[in-house]
Amino acid sequence: MAVFPKGNVNVIVLGHQKTGTTVVAALLSKVSGLPYSSDPLYVLDKGLGQTAGSLIKKPEKIAWYCRRYPHLFGKPIIKDPDFIFLYPAIKKIYRNAKFVFIIRDPRDTIRSICNRLGMPGTNRNPSPLIEEMREGNHHWELILSGQLPQQEYADKNSLSCIEKLAHRWNLAAKIYADHADDLILVKYEDFLKDKEGFITNLANDLGLQSTTSIAKYVDVQYQSKGQKDVNLASFFGEVNLTSIERICSKYMKYFGY
């Protein structure tokens, strides 16, 4: 597989949706003065999920997309949550880049997704439709139904969308664990403790020159604000919260949650 683009891409930020990939990539761009590309797979088909779905099935096709759309896949900093499910192929293409994997407690990750889509955490629907979401689209519909990426579970017919999201978080965590030596780990919770200092240190670790103060940008809301202080037991209900913690238990322990 050909390396593309040669030397143009410095950093790739990946991780599950709603783990902080957007804010971290945006602030790395601000502190370094380098442009970044946000969600190229999503942008290509305007939320249909077809590009991401196709590439997850045939990841070797990513090279064609990189050559065809350099304005999306050739910026110095690239951020796309779905890249984690393509990681081995992405790594082969961007051999000269450094990779940042962002993790967040799965309970907060899934709560934030529910907030983003206007869905109750107690939802037991296995496959919510677009019209049941706030500003939903087919990309999110595929994610919630367990089709992006396609996953096989022994009890898939009885799983709620919340449980499918837990399995999806688990898969992203496993991919990191399998390739931990190649990825720089960022815990979203550590970022929140000192946003400016954390990003400045991360930029230095990535070999990016810190050229701009980001003090005025660290609290900018890059996506719709979630209910961070909500009681998780009340938000999810006993069944969904217990399911999340059971499904994600191995990697929650791995990451210290």
> What is the pLDDT of the chain when averaged over all its residues?
93
Find the CATH number of the domain harbouring 73. 3.40.50
Determine, yes or no, domain membership for 124: yes
Tokens of 23: 């804010």
Residues 63-73: tens digit of each pLDDT: 999 989 999 99
Domain of residue 166: give its range.
11-255
223 confidence band (pLDDT: 50, 70, 90): low
φ/ψ of residue 186, rounded to 5: -125, 125
Residue 100 is predicted with a pLDDT of 98
pLDDT of residue 15: 98
Return the H-helix or E-strand segment holding 186: strand 183-187
Q: What pLDDT does residue 225 have? A: 62
Separation of alpha carbons 222 and 211, rounded Å: 21
> Is residue 66 in a domain?
yes
In a domain, 175, yes or no: yes
Q: What is the pLDDT of residue 3?
A: 55
With b meaning 16 or more CB within 10 Å and e meaning fewer, what string describes 215-249?
eebbeeeeeeeeeeeeebeebbbeebbebbbebbe
Instruction: Let me know: does 138 contact 212? Beta carbons within 8 Å.
Output: no
Instruction: Name which of 200, 175, 192 is nearest 254 in CA terms.
Output: 175
Burial class from Cβ neighbours inside 10 Å (0-12, 13-18, 19+) for residue 124 reads middle
Choose the weakest-confidence range: 6-10, 105-109, 221-225: 221-225
Total number of domains in the chain: 1
pLDDT at 239: 96
- Tens digits of per-residue pLDDT, 103-146? 999 999 999 999 999 999 999 999 999 999 999 999 999 999 99
- Residue 5 within any structural domain of the chain: no
Which position has the token pair 């951020």? 79
Does pLDDT of 6 surpass 70? no
End-to-end CA distance of the chain: 37
Q: What is the mean pLDDT of residues 152-175?
A: 89
Any domain includes 35: yes
- Residue 102's DSSP bridge partners are 186
